[in-house]
């Protein structure tokens, strides 16, 4: 989410340290996804002080029937880098969606989004990813 491994490790360790302190004092929240939400907010705070990318309009393409073959050509790190470049909260929505560990209700809860917002972010992100795939894996478009 941060696009910076040392900074991500620092946020990870700080979040776990805080969770351990809360657990030691018997103060863990009853909320199921509090740790994910806490880590997300720490990431957002860490990025606020950094230079922010300029907003730009990314190309969007309709989803292609050959998208699966294009995605198969990607390295997992390429998808991670692509997602990390998205603005938040779209970045959070895409990351949680592509982790394939959470259902929609859980993503809504962790990302603090409404269903319409999540839907918009996923559709827009998927269309932008298709445009990126078409530009980087054009040979698969003729499959």
Domain range for 18 is 5-48
Q: Answer for the pair 25, 67: CB distance below 8 angstroms, yes or no.
A: no
Higher pLDDT, 82 or 56: 82
pLDDT in tens, 1-28: 556 677 777 777 777 778 788 888 888 8
Q: Assess if residue 44 is contained within a domain.
A: yes
Count structural domains, the chain.
Answer: 2
* The most confident of 10-24, 55-69, 109-123, by mean pLDDT: 109-123
Query: Do 78 and 40 belong together in one domain?
Result: no
Q: What is the pLDDT of residue 16?
A: 77
Cα–Cα nearest to 140, from 64, 63, 62, 60: 64
pTM of the model: 0.61
Q: What is the 3-state secondary structure (H, E, C) of 53-64?
A: CCCCCCCCCCCC
Tell me, yes or no, whether 129 and 80 share the same domain: yes
Confidence of residue 55 (pLDDT cuts 50, 70, 90): low
């Amino acid at each position: 989410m941060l696009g910076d491994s040392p900074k991500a490790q620092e946020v990870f360790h700080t979040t776990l340290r805080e969770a351990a302190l809360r657990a030691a004092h018997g103060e863990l929240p009853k909320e199921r996804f509090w740790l994910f939400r806490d880590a997300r907010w720490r990431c957002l705070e860490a990025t606020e002080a950094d230079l922010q990318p300029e907003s730009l309009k990314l190309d969007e393409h309709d989803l292609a029937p050959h998208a699966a073959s294009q995605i198969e050509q990607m390295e997992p790190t390429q998808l991670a880098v692509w997602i990390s470049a998205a603005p938040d909260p779209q970045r959070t929505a895409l990351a949680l969606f592509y982790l394939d560990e959470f259902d929609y209700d859980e993503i809504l809860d962790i990302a603090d989004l409404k269903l319409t917002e999540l839907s918009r972010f996923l559709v827009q992100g998927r269309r932008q990813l298709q445009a990126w795939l078409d530009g980087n894996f054009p040979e698969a478009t003729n499959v």
